[in-house]
Amino acid sequence: MREIVSVAVGQCGNQIGTNFWENIQKEHCISSDGQFQGTNEILKENLGVYFSQTMNDRYVPRSVLVDLESGVLDNVKSSTNGKIFRPDNFISAESGAGNNWATGHYTLGAEIADSVMDIIRKEVEQTECLQGFQITHSIGGGTGSGFGTLLIAKLKEEFPDKMLTTFSVFPSPKTSDVVTEAYNAVLSINQLIENSEQVFCLDNEALIDICTKTLKLSNPSFNDMNSLVAGVMSGVTSSLRFPGQLNSDLRKLAVNLVPFPRLHFYVVGLAPLASVHNQAYHTLSISEITSQMFSKKNLMSACDPIQGKYLAASAIYRGQNISTKEVDDQIALLQRKFSNNFVEWIPNNIKSSICDVAPHGQTLSGTFIANSTSIQDVFKRIGYSFHQMYKRKAFLFGYLNEGCEEMEFTEAESNLNDLVSEYQQYQEATLEDDVDQGFGGEEEHQTEEYEQ
């Protein structure tokens, strides 16, 4: 069994994580006390990926829930599904990170890091063949960003050969309640570039747009946005949890979607998405799902893929009796239609997988994951806000007092700018480019001149 250990960090990470577990409990017919209540054995087949089984046939999520204040974790414990989690796996400090990355990363976070790692080690010891870790967090606050990236660095150091995947919520001025979120986000992205293998970018800006424009919600709450994220997470992980015609796992996903190690930030989308009023008028077909998946309106990052280029993409279809030929035909049709938006130097760069079990309450759905150069728009937006504050050194003292150094800010901004430049570089690359003279060929050219 290829197991995954899930770690939820901070308020946002735990709320999204709880929604995700509720989703997969429904999909696998597991009750709130961990008993399997389904009749279809397929639902039970790969339960070991996310659940461990106790002596009395109780299924317990392989999940660790962490926060630097206890309020959110107390809410999870007292919720309907709170009893399904192992009580020892709730870990909290008392005072909270106060929306400060440095508090989560250096002071308060460092104090509880060892006890969190001990719990994670216990979960890992109970697995037969660990596939990797799945971390849910936001990068705009203090705990998810600061302590989340500290944990990721520690996991990378202790389990260097395991996949480290993060579902990271990016901040947006539209939902902002944190003035310093640009600092927290850039310092976190700096860590994610170096230590994570795959980052699913979930942008609050795009989530708000989906809720208001597509789902027609007049006053969307964080719970509405969390439900969208949980839907994407269960779609991304469906082929790990259920048997299908074309299966996928975390490592296969990375092999197919990450052409260069630093460019591992994904844009994700979900279909079908429609308001309650409009649902009755939609015909669900592979064609409709495919066109929705590739639509800018359905993407959970505030960027336009038409303005960039797809380096690689993956489409995951869920439903009974899906025709592999029809999926291949629709993807080929779409690739021809948008041929200018795919880099020409990576042929056949869309991977598809089919899962036979549809999401709870649906007959057909699709999840789209893309490595698109247009993600640089999100980085530019955050980088601009960071620069505006940092050039005046605004709010810097709060970070320096918690053990952060000013050099870290300079390095983080520089690393973010380099990442944007790399995406732009590969967006403009063509098949005719002389690679030796273009990317990485400068040194060779200089050496030849020196020898002459």
The model's pLDDT over 401-413, given as tens digits with 9 standing for 90+, comes to 999 999 999 999 9
Percent of the chain with pLDDT over 70: 93
Question: How much is the pLDDT for 59?
Answer: 95
At residue 266, the 3 state secondary structure works out as: strand
Q: Tokens at residue 49, please? A: 């990926």
User: Cα-Cα-Cα-Cα dihedral of 331, 324, 129, 120, to 10°?
Assistant: 50
* pLDDT for res 437: 53
What pLDDT is attached to residue 246?
62
The side-by-side arrangement of strands in the sheet containing 350-355 is 90-92, 63-67, 2-9, 129-138, 163-170, 198-203, 265-271, 364-372, 310-319, 350-355, 244-246
Instruction: Please tell me the predicted confidence (pLDDT) of residue 280.
Output: 62
Reported as a single tens digit per residue, the pLDDT across 413-432 is 999 999 999 999 999 998 87
Given this model, what pLDDT does residue 432 score?
78
User: Per-residue pLDDT for 449 more than 80?
Assistant: no
The pLDDT of residue 250: 84
The CA distance from 24 to 429, in Å, is 41
Region label for 216, one of left (φ > 0), alpha (ψ between -120 and 50) or beta (otherwise):
left
pLDDT at 40 over 60: yes
pLDDT for 451 beyond 50? no
pLDDT of res. 442: 46
pLDDT tens digit sequence for 326-373: 999 999 998 888 889 999 999 889 988 899 888 988 899 999 999 999
Instruction: Please name the residue that has the structure tokens 């719990």.
Output: 119
Mean pLDDT, residues 244-259: 82
Distance CA 24, CA 245 (A): 20
What is the overall mean pLDDT for the chain?
90
Has residue 287 got a pLDDT over 70?
Answer: yes
Beta-bridge mates of residue 53: 59
CA torsion sign for 213, 218, 220, 224 is: negative
- The whole-number pLDDT of residue 325 equals 94
**Could you give the 3-state DSSP secondary structure of residue 90?**
strand
Contact 317, 286 (CB under 8 A): yes
Please count the CA atoms within 13 angstroms of the CA of 121 that sit on its side-chain side: 8
Give SS3 for 237.
coil
Q: Which two tokens stand for residue 243?
A: 């048997």
When mean pLDDT is compared across 69-78, 234-243, 279-288, 375-384, the lowest value belongs to 279-288
CA gap 279, 21 in Å, rounded: 25
pLDDT digits (tens, 9 = 90+) for 100-159: 999 999 999 999 999 999 999 999 999 999 999 999 999 999 999 999 999 999 999 999
Question: Is the pLDDT at 297 greater than 70, yes or no?
Answer: yes
Beta-carbon neighbour count of residue 224 at 10 Å? 16
Tell whether the torsion through CA atoms of 402, 405, 410 and 414 is positive or negative. Answer: negative
- Is the pLDDT reported for residue 210 higher than 70? yes
**CA pair distance 331, 412, nearest whole angstrom:** 38
Distance CA 122, CA 89 (A): 10
pLDDT computed for residue 448 by the predictor: 46
Cα 45 to Cα 53: distance, rounded to the nearest angstrom: 13
For residue 12, is pLDDT > 90?
yes
In the predicted model, what is the mean pLDDT of residues 24-53?
91
Strand 265-271 relative to strand 364-372: parallel, antiparallel, unpaired?
A: antiparallel
Q: Which residues contact 299 (CB under 8 A, 6 or more apart)?
A: 206, 267, 268, 269, 305, 368
- Dihedral angle computed from the Cα positions of residues 303, 306, 312 and 315, in that order, rounded to the nearest 10 degrees: 80
- Residues 254-263: pLDDT tens digits? 999 999 999 9
Q: What are phi and psi of 428, to 5 degrees?
A: -85, -10
For residue 369, give the nearest of 174, 180, 238 by alpha carbon.
238
User: Which stretch of 84-93, 144-153, 217-226, 368-377 has the lowest confidence by average pLDDT?
Assistant: 217-226
Q: Could you report the per-residue pLDDT of 13-37, keeping only the tens digit for each? A: 999 999 999 999 999 999 999 999 9
pTM across the whole model: 0.92
Give residue-wise pLDDT tens across range 271-286.
Answer: 998 776 666 666 789 9
Element housing 133 (H / E): strand 129-138
pLDDT of residue 314: 93
* CA 56 centroid distance within chain: 34
Predicted local confidence at residue 450, as pLDDT: 44
pLDDT in tens, 390-400: 999 999 999 99
Q: Provide the pLDDT for residue 441.
A: 47
- Residue 295 · residue 333 · CB < 8 Å: no
